[in-house]
Chains A and B, each alone.
Chain A
């Protein structure tokens, strides 16, 4: 695990974990989420039944993906929309950039979409000479700072109110005050101009509804609905795994997504769009395009063991509960999707050099327990570790250590012998004052923590001394 991304991850994680102000911000955000989530979950008669139902809906969609994607495509076409299938990021980007260029687009408004982050769409549009406005407030803030989203649902949660006020005063006109109400009003005003002048609106999709040919978009601010209402061209960029069979499935998916994401009973705006404006409709786009992105998803689909990763509805709950994310934050991961889901996805979407992220976990299982679609996240982190080792990507020291451990575990005498050697070695090293140095085999722990007291004998021997022979 010595790839450049792994080294960069360790550097950033160490830096962030030591930044107490950052950790305080994170903790406050996560505590706020946990309180809201507990309240939201309490509104369900049976939260576990909701998780099970959502799992079954996504199971059905993903395990009949060809059938439901074709049904969705047929319905969208009936509605006058266009569907483009993209194998990878480049193909998806090129389609959108070429479409925009051919239609004379100069200004683009975007609602929050992790898939467009995944394919790096905004830089490509900007390179082609277009102005791109992120319209979700959190995304707008991080765009002004020229940095990626910090969290799937709360892109600017790492920033203080004062930092955002300073940023707005530097970058925006007409900022009346430093309070959140004034700052939101300033952003609203700036983005209104963009909404009413943009020729293209780009969104992601929370779900694709096969039986109706509708793209479901969920927002609290209303920016998603403005993106699909005002510009003359609408584009939805989405992963192929987002398809669900029926419109009625949203009756449980929408509330469950909202509760897992923010603790709300349901998000304010749940928008369904399925084509360009029809004759007689007062407004809406003249063109409607859906880009179905593969980008490694079909390879993940082929892995029956990890297929359920494709059920993910990007609620961010696994991030919020993960003790590692709570210590190092979103930017440390260096991937579009941070936290447990990102760590599971990264080797599949970004390649084996991102296998190190599967080790950034205590394997406590909190992510699996909270996941509203029951993705077996912590076991998938183990699967990724196994796959990386089988592919020869394990560290030499780790491989040696596990070989020794396996040998020792195969017999009680061996175990006692190895235990005795390890205790004696550590005792000698620590007596020489080498605790936490490069010579300390427990350095990963002792460089930041005091070493625990080393027992004078093995557990078996201590037991025998206390309780006599068996």
Chain B
């Protein structure tokens, strides 16, 4: 936007610069100085990831090799109602899609998920063990993939499992995931609300079910 179209920009910046000529104090830590550990140690990343996912209602299926993952995905799909499945257009899914006969598939290369989608099937950019979180982006099925369908199935590999958010966000920054996607998102559990007298209800706007198929080996 040209400055002439937004004269307030310069006025605001001028006010900010004038305001910052006086320094504001920074509150000092209450305890002894030195680096303090904010979060407890993560420990075994797989065990921690599974424990956190259990707490946030994400299902985790650990598989060995692509065949094991295909079987696990097929099992989840079989438990879902009839209807279209939104699938990230990735070689991992193209190679096994023929194993889902009778399922109408909408590939991400055809556009975003439709309202009628029964599930979205995507890859992940990374996983954070300390919070049981999944990092997704436009490159893993797009913006709506993680939130439109009532079930989100995520295929991830063991190597993508990182200890915590610090590692995941550092990875997203350094690998250009944040720079090269118009959307990056973290998912930690199922969609939920407690806005009606504090009663927890799952599936407010997004998925009622999130499944991570965590694959070891090729």
Contact = CB atoms under 8 A, between A and B. Distances in A.
B195 interface: yes
A288 B27 CA distance: 37
Contact of A86 (B8, B24, B204, B206): B8
Contacts of A84: 1, 6
B138 A278 contact: yes
Given A181-B201, A252-B38, A302 B143 contact: no
Contact of A255 (B12, B55, B165): B165
A108 to B, nearest CB: 16
A152 B188 CA distance: 22
A91 interface: yes
Given A28-B198, A282-B108, A294-B12, A276 B182 contact: yes
A225 B206 contact: yes
Contact of B166 (A52, A248, A265): A248
B26 A268 contact: no
B193 A220 contact: yes
A334 interface: no
B193 A269 contact: no
B171 to A, nearest CB: 10
A311 B198 CA distance: 28
B144 A230 contact: yes
Interface stretch (B61-69, B70-78, B153-161, B173-181): B173-181
The dominant DSSP class at the B interface is loop
A288 B198 CA distance: 34
A248 B20 contact: no
Interface in B1-59: 1, 6, 8-9, 11-13, 15-20, 22-27, 29-31, 36-40, 52, 55-56
A255 B165 CA distance: 9
Interface stretch (A55-63, A397-405, A442-450): A55-63
Nearest to A219: B205
Contact of B205 (A226, A283, A288): A226
B204 A137 contact: yes
B186 interface: yes
B19 A302 contact: yes
Contacts of A66: 13, 16-17, 20
Interface stretch (A13-21, A155-163, A420-428, A455-463): A155-163
Contacts of A273: 143, 182-183
B193 A137 contact: yes
B17 A155 contact: no
A305 to B, nearest CB: 8
Contacts of A137: 193, 195-196, 204
B184 to A, nearest CB: 4
A44 B37 CA distance: 9
Nearest to B17: A66
B182 A277 contact: yes
Contacts of B203: 184, 188
Nearest to A301: B19
B144 A160 contact: no
Q: Residue among A155, A191, A277 with the most chain B CB within 10 A?
A: A277
A83 interface: yes
Contact of A228 (B109, B110, B133, B143): B143
B50 to A, nearest CB: 15
A2 B123 CA distance: 61
Given A184-B201, A272-B184, A281-B138, A308 B206 contact: no
A348 interface: no
A278 B79 CA distance: 35
A297 to B, nearest CB: 9
Contact of A225 (B52, B115, B182, B185): B185
A29 interface: yes
Contact of B147 (A64, A154, A226): A226
B193 A221 contact: yes
Contacts of A183: 196
Nearest to B40: A45
B165 A65 contact: no
27 contacts: A45-B37, A59-B24, A63-B24, A65-B16, A66-B20, A85-B6, A154-B195, A157-B198, A181-B201, A188-B203, A196-B115, A223-B204, A225-B144, A226-B144, A226-B148, A226-B205, A229-B183, A230-B112, A230-B144, A250-B165, A251-B164, A268-B192, A268-B206, A282-B141, A283-B113, A298-B15, A298-B16
Given A298-B15, A301-B16, A305-B24, 20 more contacts: A29-B198, A44-B39, A50-B38, A59-B24, A69-B13, A86-B8, A141-B196, A156-B196, A161-B197, A192-B205, A222-B205, A225-B147, A226-B144, A251-B168, A268-B190, A282-B144, A283-B111, A283-B142, A302-B22, A307-B24
Q: Closest 5 interchain pairs by CB?
A: A222-B206, A283-B112, A282-B142, A229-B143, A302-B19
Interface of A: 28-29, 32, 43-46, 48-50, 52-53, 55-56, 59, 62-66, 69-70, 79, 82-87, 91, 135-138, 141, 154-157, 159-161, 164, 180-181, 183-184, 187-188, 191-192, 195-196, 211-212, 214, 220-223, 225-226, 228-230, 240, 246-248, 250-252, 254-255, 262, 265-278, 281-284, 288, 292, 294, 298-299, 301-302, 304-305, 307-308, 374, 376
